[in-house]
Amino acid sequence: METKTIYIAFDGREFEDDTECYEYEMDKQLLSVHNDLIMRDVDGNEIGMNQFGECYYLTCKTKAAAEVVWDWGYEYQGYDTPWYSKTGAKPGSYFYDTNTEKWYDVDEEIKKLEERLNFLKKIG
């Protein structure tokens, strides 16, 4: 008697290899949010959703898009994401700082810079 393991994707499609199954599911998830997800490289050029390792600027228009980034970027590929957990994934625009090796929320950083600028204007 032989034993055969079959991996079943969320839509019922069957695979003999777990990696193929997972990649199939991730491709489907990425396609489901492609209008809500913008990824850019270090020069600001838009890149494909499967190029997370080259992503330095990220815009997630919906929570679903942010959760897919968590699943694809962190869970599957092992890259850092702007969030510490999938439940913390939220819409927004983010950038990756190569000096600190961390993601930052664009709006929060703009607010900090505006506060600093206002302070400098006040004392200058």
Are 20 and 55 part of one and the same domain? no
What pLDDT shows up at residue 4? 86
If asked whether residues 8 and 47 sit together in one domain, one would say no
Average confidence (pLDDT) over 14-25: 88
Say whether both 115 and 58 belong to one domain.
yes
Could you give phi then psi for residue 24, rounded to 5 degrees? Answer: -60, -50
CA atoms within 13 A on the CB side of 106: 11
One domain, residues 54 and 89: yes
| Whether 65 and 24 share a structural domain | no
Rounded to two decimals, what is the model's pTM?
0.76
Determine the structural domain holding residue 52 and report its residue range: 37-123
Residues 52 and 98 in one domain: yes
Q: What is the pLDDT of residue 90?
A: 93
Same domain, 58 and 113: yes
Give the sign of the dihedral formed by CA 98, CA 54, CA 38, CA 87: negative
If asked whether residues 25 and 53 sit together in one domain, one would say: no
Structure tokens of 20? 């193929």
Whether 45 and 97 map to the same domain: the answer is yes
Q: Where does the pLDDT of residue 51 fall: very low under 50, low under 70, confident under 90, or very high at 90 and above? A: confident
Q: Are residues 63 and 104 in the same domain?
A: yes
> Could you tell me if 59 and 112 lie in one domain?
yes
What confidence tier does 92 reach under pLDDT thresholds 50, 70, 90?
very high
Confidence category of residue 48, pLDDT binned at 50, 70, 90 = confident
CA distance 90 to 83: 8
30, 49 contact by CB (below 8 A) = yes
Please state, in angstroms and rounded to a whole number, the distance separating the CA atoms of residues 67 and 101.
Answer: 21
* Domains of the chain: total: 2
Same domain, residue pair 67 and 13: no
